[in-house]
Chains A and B, each alone.
Chain A
Amino acid sequence: MKINKKILIVEDDSALLDLLGEKFTSEGFDVLKAQHGAIGLEIALREHPDLILLDIVMPVMDGITLSAKIREDSWGRTVPILILTNLSDTETMSKALQNNVFDFLVKSDWKIAEVVARVRSKLSLNL
C-alpha cells in the first residue's frame, strides 16, 4: 500500500540504513536515505520529507547539529524528527529534545516494527 509520505533516514551504518529503508519502503513510504548529516541536511532541505529519522553518532555532522540546522529552516521548524540512536545518556537526550524531536528511541531497545508504528502514529496513519 502506498503512503504518500516521504521519510528521510539519516544513518551512518549502511546495514541499518538499508534495512530501515527496505522496511519503510515495504510499508509503503517514500524513503530518502542519507549516510551522514551533511547529505541528510541537503536532502531534507531539498526534498522536504514528512518525517526524518535521525541517528546521532555520524561522521561529518552529527544528528543533534543536523536537527538544529533543520530547525533553523522555516520548513524545517515543523518537520517531525525521530531520533534513533544507541546512545542512551540523558544529556544527549535532553539536547536532542531541545531541538524539538518528537521522540528519542534507543535502537537496541526497540523492535524495528515498533519504530515503524511510531512513525505511523506520528504521521497519523493508524494502521
Chain B
Amino acid sequence: MMCYPQLPDKKTQKPPANTIPFLTLFFYRKKIRLSAKKSFALFFIFFSVLLFVYSLPAYAEEIISADILEIDIFLQTILEVGILVIFAYFIYFGRKWNKGEISILDNDSIKRAVAHVVGIYGFFGSVWIFLSDTILGWVVQNQTVLIQIAILKGSLFIITTATLLYFLFYRNLYRYRKSELALKDSEKRYRNMIEIAPDAIFTLNHEGIFQTINPAGCRLLGYTKKELEGSSIEITYATEEVSNMRERLKQLAQNKTLRFERQMVRKDGVHIFVDVVTSPIGESSYQAFARDITEQKTNERNIIESRENLSVTLNSIGDAVIVTDTTGIITRINNAAERLLDLSYNDTVGKPLNSIFNIINNETGMPAENPVEQVVKSGKTVDLANHTALILHNGTVRQIADSASPIHGKNNELTGVVIVCRDVTETYAKDKVIRESELRFHALFMEMNEGCALHTIIYDDKKIPVNYRILDVNPQYESIIGVNRNDVISKTATEVYKTAVAPFLSECIVACNSKKSFSFETFFLPLEKYFHISIAPLGLDSFATIFFDITDQKRNEAKIKMQDERMTENIKELQIEQEKLIRLTIDLDKFKKAVENVSEQVVICNPAGKIIYCNKATETITGHSQDEFLEKHIFTVRSSPDKNQLAQLLSHIEGSKEHWTGDARFLRKNGEIYIADISISPISDANGTVLFYVIVERDITKAREVERAKTEFVFLASHQLKAPLTIISWYLETLTSENFGELDEKHRKYFDEINTANNRMKKLVGDLLNVARIDMDTLGLHNKKTNVNEIYCSVVKEIEPLTAKKEITITAKCPAESLDFILDPDLFRIIIQNLIMNAVKYTPQKGSVVFSLTCKDDTLLVDITDTGYGIPAKDVNHIFSKFFRADNIRLIEAEGTGLGLYIAKSFIEKMKGSITFESKENVGTSFHVAIPAAQEKN
C-alpha cells in the first residue's frame, strides 16, 4: 500500500519532494502578479490532481489491475516530470519576465493561468497529500475506511479541482473574456478618445518603439502613422536629450510614472516643446501624453528673458533703482541701490522708504521732501534738488542726484514709484574742484597784469581759417587797447582792430596746429605801440593771446645795446690786457723757474721778516727745507755762530729802505758753518712803501776758502821771497855802515851794485805780489781818511836820490790845506810811487815833473806831467799791459819791470777811478788820475 508511512516508498516520499518547487512558486507569486488567493487556489487544484494520481493506485489495487497501477505509476512519473518541466518553465518564464524580456501584455494569458494553476495546485496538492497520507495512515488503520476516505479524497479532489478550475480557470477565462470585451469596448472608447484627443497620445514598447500613435501625435510630429509605428521614440529626440530617453525608459521599466518637458523633433526638423506624461501600461508598454507647449515655452522664455533682462539691466545700471508701492514701501531694489545705501536687499524690501532713504538738502541742512509723496501727489516725474545729500545708516554722507517717476498699471493707475539715484559724491567733489579752479583761473584772468583775450578761429566754407572771434577779454586788455569789454566780445578781429586781415592770424593758426605756444615782439600799428605777444593754443580752434606794452622796454633796449657795444669793446681791451698778462705770467713763470733754480739762495720776505718765498737753493745752502723756511722769520729760522750776526742782519730789514750787501756766517742745519754773501734789497711800490725784501745769498764759503788759500799762498810766497831779500839788504846795510869798518871804493861800489840789484829784486817781488793780488783779485780795499799830501811828500822824498842825480825838478801843486781824502793809502801810495817814478825815470837830465793834486766834486784829481821821452804813438795802447816797456825807453833805461803802469791802473780801477794820458814823443807825457772818494770801509 502506498500511503502507509511505515512503509516508506517512493510515493510517500514524492509529495514532500514535489512541494519544494511549489513553495518556490509561492514566493514568486508577486512577480507574476499572482495573488495569494490565486496562488493557493492553483496549488490546491494541482495538488488535487496530484493526489488523484497518487491515490489511483490505492483504488487500483481494489478496482484496477496491476497494469493500471503501472500506468498510474507511469502517469505519476510523467506528472512529476511534467511538474518539473512546468516548474522549470515557470522559473524560466519568471526570470525572463523579471528581466523584462517578456511582456506582461502578452495576449497569452492562458499560459499564465495554467502556470498559476499548476503552481499553486502542485504546491498545495503536495502538502495535502503528505498530510493526508501521513496523518491518515497513522490515524486510520482500517483499509475500508481508507478506501472510502480515498474515494472521498478523490471526489473531493475532483470537485475541488473542478471548482477551482472553474473559478480560477474558466471563470477567470470568462472574466478575462468579459473583461477583454469590456476592455475592447473601453479600448474602443479610449481609442476614440485617443483619436480625437488634441494632445498626442502614443504607446511605446519597453524598447521605446512606437506601437500606437494618435492622429494628434502624428500632427504634432509631422510623421504619418505608418512612419512612426515601429520607429523608435529616439527619432523625436534632439541629439542632446537622447541620454534622457534611456534614463526615462529605465525608470519606466521600474514602473514609474514620469512627467517632464522636452524638445521633440518633428519630421521637418522643427523643434517643439512638449509636456509629456508617461507611465507603463500593461506589462511591456508605456503610454505617453504629449502636449505642445512650444508657444507656452516661447512665452515663458520671453517672460523669463525679459524678466532677466530687466533684472540684469536693473542690476547693471550704475544708478540705484528703488521701487516702492504707492504707500512708500519698498518692493525691490537693485545692486547699485544696495551699494549706495550700504544695505542688503533683505534689509530694505518691505520697509518704508523714509526709514532708509534719509536725504537732506546740502545747503540748508534740512531734510528734503520724500520723493514718493511728491510723485504720488503730482503724478509726474520729480527731480530732486541738485544739492541733495544722502545720509546712510552708518552716518556716511553721499551726494546724490536722483529723480522719481510714477509706475502705471494697465489702466494707467498709479501702481508704484521708481526712484533712480546716483552717487555723485565724486562728481560733486570734482565739480567743486573744477568750480574752484575756474574761479581761480577767472581771478587770474581778471587780475593779471598782462592783457589777455580768448579767441576762437573762424573758418570759411573750405575750412580755411580766415578770421577769429573774440570770446572774452580781461580788464587789462580793455585798458591797453582802450576799449570796453562789451564792445569787443563776440566781434571778429577785423571788426575790432579795423584791419583788413585779422592780425597775426597765421601765427595763431601755427600755434593751434602745433599745440605749442610761442611769443614774439612786434610793433602793433593800430595802437602804435610795441607789444610782447604770446599766443597760447587752447585747442584746435581756440587760442589765447597774452600781451603787454613793451614800448618803454624797447627804448631801453636801444640804450642797453649801445652800452653793450661799449662793453664789448671794453672786453676786447680787457682781453688784450689779459693776453699781456698771460704773456707776463709766462715770463714770470720763466723767471720764477729761473729764480727757483739758481744756485744762489733767494728768499723773499715781507716787511716784518716773514718768509713768503724761498727757492730750492735755500735747502742746498742752509740745509733747511723750503717748507721749514716758509712763513717763518727769516733770521730766526736759522742760526749763526756769531752772536750778533742775526740781529745785525735784522736791522737791514725792519723798515730799512736801503739796499745792503755783506757777508755773514751762518750755521747749516747740520751744524756746518758757512759764509754767505748776502744782498738785501727792498722792493717798494710807487709810494715808496716797502712791499717786501729780496734777500739773495751766495754760499761763498768755498770761494772764501779759495781766496784765503790764494791769499795765503801769496803771502807765504811773498814772505818766503822777501825773507832772503831782507837778509841781503840788511847785511849789506850793515856792511856798508860807518860802524862796520872802512871800505875801499871797489868794495863800496860792488856792495852798491849788490844793493841795487837787491832793491830791484825787492821791487820786482813787490810788484809781482801786487800783480798776483790784482790777478787773483785778492786786493782788499782799506779806505780811510788819508792825507794825500803826506803820501806825495814821502814818495818824493824816497826818490830824492834819483831826482838829485838826474837833476830833475819836481814841482808840486797842491792845495794849501792838507787834503784828507778817503781812500786806501797803501794803494794810493803805490800808484803815486809808480807814476812819479816813471816820470822821473823817463825824463832826461835836467827835466821837470809837475805834480798837481786837486779835489773836485768828491773826486781826487792827480796830474803828473813830465818833460820826458814820451810814449810812441804805436805803443800808446800797450803801456798799461803787463811787462810792457816801450822801445824808446828800453834803450835808455834798462831797468824797469814793465809792471808799474799795469799795477797803477789796476789799483786806480780798484778804487773806481780812472787814468788817462797824453804824450808826445820827446816832448813829454801827462798822466791824469781821477779817484772818487770811497766810503770808509775796512
Residues of A near any B CB (own CB < 8 A): 13, 15-16, 19, 22-23, 26, 57, 85-92, 94, 106-109, 111-113
Q: How far is the CA of A19 from the CA of B734 in the complex (A)?
A: 8
Assess the A107–B722 pair: CB atoms within 8 A: yes
Q: Given A19-B734, A23-B734, does the pair A86, B718 have CB atoms closer than 8 Å?
A: yes
Size of the B side of the interface (Cβ < 8 Å), in residues, is 25
Among B248-256, B386-394, B725-733, which stretch is in contact with chain A?
B725-733
Residues of B near any A CB (own CB < 8 A): 711, 714-715, 718-719, 722-723, 725-727, 729-731, 733-734, 737, 739, 762, 765-766, 769, 780, 782, 826, 938
Question: A112 touches which one: B730, B769, B782 (CB < 8 A)?
Answer: B730
What are 19 A-B interface contacts by the 8 Å CB criterion?
Answer: A15-B727, A15-B731, A16-B723, A16-B727, A16-B730, A19-B731, A57-B719, A85-B719, A87-B718, A88-B715, A91-B711, A106-B722, A107-B730, A108-B722, A108-B726, A108-B765, A111-B729, A111-B733, A112-B733
- Chain A residue at smallest Cβ distance from B730: A112
Q: Which residues of A contact B762 (CB under 8 A)?
A: 108-109
Q: Given A15-B727, A16-B726, A108-B725, does the pair A113, B737 have CB atoms closer than 8 Å?
A: yes
Assess the A92–B715 pair: CB atoms within 8 A: yes
Q: Given A108-B729, A112-B733, does the pair A90, B718 have CB atoms closer than 8 Å?
A: no
Closest CB-CB distance, B725 to chain A, in whole Å? 5
Q: Which residues of A contact B780 (CB under 8 A)?
A: 90-91
Which secondary structure dominates where chain B touches chain A? helix
Interface centre among A26, A57, A89, A113 (most CB of B within 10 A): A89
Closest CB-CB distance, B800 to chain A, in whole Å? 15
Q: Which residues of B contact A13 (CB under 8 A)?
A: 723, 727
Interface centre among B718, B730, B733, B780 (most CB of A within 10 A): B730
Q: Which residues of A contact B727 (CB under 8 A)?
A: 13, 15-16, 19
Assess the B730–A87 pair: CB atoms within 8 A: no
Given contacts A57-B719, A108-B765, 4 further A-B contacts (CB under 8 A): A15-B727, A16-B730, A26-B739, A86-B718
Assess the B733–A113 pair: CB atoms within 8 A: yes
Q: Which residues of B contact A111 (CB under 8 A)?
A: 729-730, 733
Closest CB-CB distance, B783 to chain A, in whole Å? 12
Assess the B733–A86 pair: CB atoms within 8 A: no
Assess the A107–B726 pair: CB atoms within 8 A: yes
Q: How far is the CA of A29 from the CA of B100 in the complex (A)?
A: 196
Closest CB-CB distance, B773 to chain A, in whole Å? 9
- Chain B residue at smallest Cβ distance from A13: B723
Q: Given A26-B739, A57-B719, does the pair A86, B726 have CB atoms closer than 8 Å?
A: yes
- The 10 tightest CB contacts between A and B, nearest first, are A86-B722, A107-B726, A108-B722, A86-B719, A112-B730, A108-B726, A15-B727, A89-B715, A112-B733, A87-B719
Q: How far is the CA of A87 from the CA of B452 in the complex (A)?
A: 113
Question: B730 touches which one: A19, A57, A91, A106 (CB < 8 A)?
Answer: A19
Q: How far is the CA of A90 from the CA of B731 in the complex (A)?
A: 27
- Chain B residue at smallest Cβ distance from A14: B727
Closest CB-CB distance, A70 to chain B, in whole Å? 22
Closest CB-CB distance, B717 to chain A, in whole Å? 11
Q: How far is the CA of A123 from the CA of B737 in the complex (A)?
A: 23
- Chain A residue at smallest Cβ distance from B719: A86
Q: How far is the CA of A22 from the CA of B730 in the complex (A)?
A: 12
Assess the B769–A88 pair: CB atoms within 8 A: yes
Assess the B731–A89 pair: CB atoms within 8 A: no
Q: Given A26-B739, A108-B762, does the pair A86, B734 have CB atoms closer than 8 Å?
A: no
Closest CB-CB distance, B307 to chain A, in whole Å? 144
Q: Which residues of B contact A23 (CB under 8 A)?
A: 734
Q: Which residues of A contact B729 (CB under 8 A)?
A: 108, 111
- Chain A residue at smallest Cβ distance from B720: A86
Q: Which residues of A contact B719 (CB under 8 A)?
A: 57, 85-87
Q: How far is the CA of A30 from the CA of B714 in the complex (A)?
A: 36
Q: Which residues of B contact A108 (CB under 8 A)?
A: 722, 725-726, 729, 762, 765-766
- Chain B residue at smallest Cβ distance from A88: B718
Closest CB-CB distance, B456 to chain A, in whole Å? 114
Q: How far is the CA of A87 from the CA of B712 in the complex (A)?
A: 10
Q: Which residues of B contact A90 (CB under 8 A)?
A: 780, 782, 826
Closest CB-CB distance, A7 to chain B, in whole Å? 16
Q: Which residues of A contact B826 (CB under 8 A)?
A: 90
Q: How far is the CA of A9 from the CA of B733 in the complex (A)?
A: 19
Q: How far is the CA of A13 from the CA of B729 in the complex (A)?
A: 14
Q: How far is the CA of A16 from the CA of B780 in the complex (A)?
A: 30
Q: Which residues of A contact B733 (CB under 8 A)?
A: 111-113
Q: How far is the CA of A22 from the CA of B719 in the complex (A)?
A: 23
Q: How far is the CA of A16 from the CA of B726 in the complex (A)?
A: 8
Closest CB-CB distance, A17 to chain B, in whole Å? 10
Closest CB-CB distance, B34 to chain A, in whole Å? 179
Q: Given A13-B727, A89-B715, does the pair A112, B734 have CB atoms closer than 8 Å?
A: yes
- Chain A residue at smallest Cβ distance from B740: A26
- Chain A residue at smallest Cβ distance from B711: A89
- Chain A residue at smallest Cβ distance from B824: A90
Assess the B737–A86 pair: CB atoms within 8 A: no
Q: Which residues of B contact A88 (CB under 8 A)?
A: 715, 718, 769
Q: Which residues of B contact A106 (CB under 8 A)?
A: 722
Q: How far is the CA of A109 from the CA of B830 in the complex (A)?
A: 13
Q: Which residues of A contact B711 (CB under 8 A)?
A: 89, 91
Closest CB-CB distance, B282 to chain A, in whole Å? 174
Q: How far is the CA of A112 from the CA of B730 in the complex (A)?
A: 6
Q: How far is the CA of A91 from the CA of B715 in the complex (A)?
A: 11
Q: How far is the CA of A90 from the CA of B737 in the complex (A)?
A: 32
Q: How far is the CA of A91 from the CA of B780 in the complex (A)?
A: 9
Closest CB-CB distance, A13 to chain B, in whole Å? 6
Q: How far is the CA of A17 from the CA of B730 in the complex (A)?
A: 11
- Chain A residue at smallest Cβ distance from B758: A108
Closest CB-CB distance, A107 to chain B, in whole Å? 4
Closest CB-CB distance, B706 to chain A, in whole Å? 16
- Chain A residue at smallest Cβ distance from B737: A113
Closest CB-CB distance, A99 to chain B, in whole Å? 17
Q: How far is the CA of A23 from the CA of B726 in the complex (A)?
A: 15
Closest CB-CB distance, B731 to chain A, in whole Å? 6
Q: Which residues of B contact A22 (CB under 8 A)?
A: 734
Closest CB-CB distance, A25 to chain B, in whole Å? 12
Closest CB-CB distance, A120 to chain B, in whole Å? 15
Closest CB-CB distance, A110 to chain B, in whole Å? 9
Q: Which residues of A contact B723 (CB under 8 A)?
A: 13, 16, 86, 107
Q: Which residues of A contact B739 (CB under 8 A)?
A: 26
Q: How far is the CA of A52 from the CA of B769 in the complex (A)?
A: 29
Question: B715 touches which one: A16, A26, A87, A113 (CB < 8 A)?
Answer: A87
Q: How far is the CA of A15 from the CA of B727 in the complex (A)?
A: 7
Q: How far is the CA of A94 from the CA of B719 in the complex (A)?
A: 17
Q: Which residues of B contact A86 (CB under 8 A)?
A: 718-719, 722-723, 726
Closest CB-CB distance, A59 to chain B, in whole Å? 14
Q: Which residues of A contact B938 (CB under 8 A)?
A: 94
Closest CB-CB distance, B751 to chain A, in whole Å? 14
Q: How far is the CA of A112 from the CA of B725 in the complex (A)?
A: 13
- Chain B residue at smallest Cβ distance from A56: B719
Q: How far is the CA of A108 from the CA of B769 in the complex (A)?
A: 13
Q: How far is the CA of A63 from the CA of B739 in the complex (A)?
A: 31
Q: Which residues of A contact B725 (CB under 8 A)?
A: 108
Closest CB-CB distance, B827 to chain A, in whole Å? 11
- Chain A residue at smallest Cβ distance from B769: A88
Q: Which residues of B contact A107 (CB under 8 A)?
A: 722-723, 726, 730
Q: Which residues of B contact A85 (CB under 8 A)?
A: 719
Closest CB-CB distance, A117 to chain B, in whole Å? 13
- Chain A residue at smallest Cβ distance from B770: A88
Q: How far is the CA of A16 from the CA of B733 in the complex (A)?
A: 12
- Chain B residue at smallest Cβ distance from A84: B726
Q: Which residues of A contact B718 (CB under 8 A)?
A: 86-88
- Chain B residue at smallest Cβ distance from A26: B739
Q: Which residues of A contact B726 (CB under 8 A)?
A: 16, 86, 107-108
Q: How far is the CA of A87 from the CA of B769 in the complex (A)?
A: 11
Q: How far is the CA of A112 from the CA of B734 in the complex (A)?
A: 8
Closest CB-CB distance, B837 to chain A, in whole Å? 15
Closest CB-CB distance, A1 to chain B, in whole Å? 12
